[in-house]
Chains A and B, each alone.
Chain A
Amino acid sequence: KAGVTQTPRYLIKTRGQQVTLSCSPISGHRSVSWYQQTPGQGLQFLFEYFSETQRNKGNFPGRFSGRQFSNSRSEMNVSTLELGDSALYLCASSTDSGRRAFFGQGTRLTVV
């Protein structure tokens, strides 16, 4: 089985712009979660989607949003980028029970 695929791997954006990141989960997995990883805050949960519905949400501002499509692929959008949004964004897919999460390689976002 192919693993979790995230695109792009690297992005450089300017403050104020918006960005969309993509995640294709493992075939058969319907749950997709997003995490932000920074040296100062570690791995922080953004949100989780299951069958196209947001099932869980972390403590991030409304500039961070996501969606999931009928084929379980997910996108994450960040609007009005700030310097502090620079991070490694990780996507994880899980089976319905959600008790084993597999991560993609991440998208490294740099905001300048």
Chain B
Amino acid sequence: GQQLNQSPQSMFIQEGEDVSMNCTSSSIFNTWLWYKQDPGEGPVLLIALYKAGELTSNGRLTAQFGITRKDSFLNISASIPSDVGIYFCAGISGTSGSRLTFGEGTQLTVNP
């Protein structure tokens, strides 16, 4: 089945640093979504990408849909303590309806 490889698994950074994480797949996706999840809560949608090469920002967050449609990355600039959480990428293929395939997540820790 489809799988998304997300890296890194975890990151420990200082407040103010920039962060980058990415997802790769062996399959093509038509949509890439990035979510943040806090403990005990549901994932919150951060950014949605719909076209190869698309670059979209949401405040300090920027994400890109890879040209090959098999990868995506998320950058967080000038990190702050409230950025702590688990970040997930998710993809939707052309044949899966609204079915999301998720990456394993990146645990982000920000030291003040």
Contact = CB atoms under 8 A, between A and B. Distances in A.
A108 B40 contact: yes
Contacts of B40: 88, 106, 108
Interface residues of B, number: 25
Contacts of B104: 42
B97 interface: yes
Interface in B23-40: 30-31, 33, 35, 40
Given A55-B97, A88-B40, 11 more contacts: A42-B102, A43-B102, A45-B100, A48-B98, A55-B98, A56-B97, A98-B92, A100-B48, A101-B45, A103-B35, A103-B43
Contacts, number: 68
Contact of A99 (B31, B42, B102): B31
Nearest to B4: A42
Main SS class of interface, B = loop
A90 interface: yes
